[in-house]
Amino acid sequence: MTVPDPTPRVAEFERRAYGMFLHWGLYSQLGRGEWILHLDNDLIHEEYEGLAETFTAEAFDGRKIASLAKAAGMKYAVLTARHHDGFSLYDTRGLTDYDAPNSAAGRDLVREFVDGCHAEGIEPFLYHTTLDWHRDSHECSPGEFDEYVDFLHDSLEVLLAEYDLGGIWFDGDWSRDDDWRLDERYALVREHQPEAIVVNNTGIGNEGEVSHPEVDSVTFEQREPDPVNREGMDKYVAAEMCQTMNGHWGIGERDFDYKSPGDIIETLATCRARGANYLLNVGPTAEGAIPEYETAALRRAGEWVELHDDVIYDGRPVDCETPGRDAVLEADDDLYYLAFDLSVSGHEDVTVRGDGTGPRTIVGLDREVTVARWVDSDEGIRVLQSDDADLTTLDCTGYPYGTNTVVRVAELDA
């Protein structure tokens, strides 16, 4: 059985590697996550809808968001054009008045996002819900559901005709086992944006599933991806992991459980080692600003990405066995070894000693390696190899005192 080649757009999407997810909407004013309308039984729908009157978007700046994404080393960004609460950040052109131009903002926020991304060289993607609590899509009768799908398609038609997108990210088909008329939906996408990447989130529990032949990438929500087995597939699909920066997609003001820059680096490296993209979420404030912690963490991890840009964007996994989370990637005929959990060398009275220095053995690399060096310091690494190149051992020295790049990258001359 053979593995199909990726289409040029899917190959380009894979090289984009790292993206920013943005969950922002009326719920951001409540600061308790994007599902609060559904989960807080005391929250009356009419009251929630009234939040449109105070949704000023006064700190929302598409260009600034895109420029942060760029500094973070991200190459695309995905904004929730409409989430499950049914409120649209785009101008629905009269389809509904539950949208940003009819809110206190009085502006088309998706337009500002898309323009900001284009100005900064970030590929704009839009998330669009299919589950709509505002229209009871999850519990209405079959006849009503069919009408709802008409409305959904009309909404998508507006979106797809108006904005030049790198991709569209659907979410919510898991809310109802019914006829979503997917052929029609995807035909709409292809009619207006033939080169857009199509993602449809299969949700927690169904990670990595190909839900329809038009889908360009499978999803791994909130967990590190498995390598995708593409043998015998009709079409090559990319893979993408999406993850929250704390435990919520929409801002959680009382959620302190944040990922660190080190966590972000490890997850990004692991995604790339499994051949997947990493889509990391931020939840903007009620007014639309990216919170300080998120900004700082993204910038800090971005410095690491800049140091390792060759392997992060172009690196593809090489099939071999490595210890722990370590991995070998190949980019433009160069091989890279990613070493996790290395300790800092120095003096035992001052450095926190991990157990992570010393030899690490790669099994089944089957390529002759003569020289290796750490990308961060240019220091050479001792290499030992069996005659048949089945066993390759790198004598992984610890970080020089004063440094710790979390995932240390070695370039191997093969």
| Residues 225-244 interacting with ligand GLC (rule: CB under 6 A) | 242
Q: How far is the CB of 184 from ligand GLC (least distance, A)?
A: 22
Residues 6+ apart with CB under 8 A from 391: 361, 362, 363, 385
The verdict on 221 binding ligand GLC (CB under 6 A) reads yes
Q: Which is nearer to ligand GLC, 16 or 23 (CB)?
A: 23
Which of 85, 171, 294, 326 lies at the binding interface for ligand GLC (CB under 6 A)? 171
Q: Which is nearer to ligand GLC, 222 or 285 (CB)?
A: 222
Count of residues touching ligand GLC (by CB under 6 A): 9
Q: Which is nearer to ligand GLC, 247 or 324 (CB)?
A: 247
Q: How far is the CB of 336 from ligand GLC (least distance, A)?
A: 29
Q: Which is nearer to ligand GLC, 165 or 338 (CB)?
A: 165
H-helix or E-strand spanning residue 279 = strand 277-282
Q: Which is nearer to ligand GLC, 105 or 279 (CB)?
A: 279
| Residues 241-270 interacting with ligand GLC (rule: CB under 6 A) | 242, 249
What order of strands is seen across the sheet that includes strand 383-385?
358-363, 391-396, 383-385
H-helix or E-strand spanning residue 201 = strand 197-201
Closest-CA residue to 14 (of 26, 3, 5) = 5
Residue pair 208/255 in contact (Cβ under 8 Å)? The answer is: no
Which of 203, 275, 323, 356 lies at the binding interface for ligand GLC (CB under 6 A)? 203
**Two tokens at 96?**
């509904």
The verdict on 132 binding ligand GLC (CB under 6 A) reads no
| β-pair type (18-22, 76-82) | parallel
Q: How far is the CB of 179 from ligand GLC (least distance, A)?
A: 20
Closest-CA residue to 357 (of 341, 372, 369) = 341
Any idea what the Cα angle at residue 368 is, between residues 363 and 371, rounded to 5°? 105
Q: Which is nearer to ligand GLC, 123 or 221 (CB)?
A: 221
Binding site for ligand GLC (CB under 6 A): 23, 34-35, 171, 201, 203, 221, 242, 249
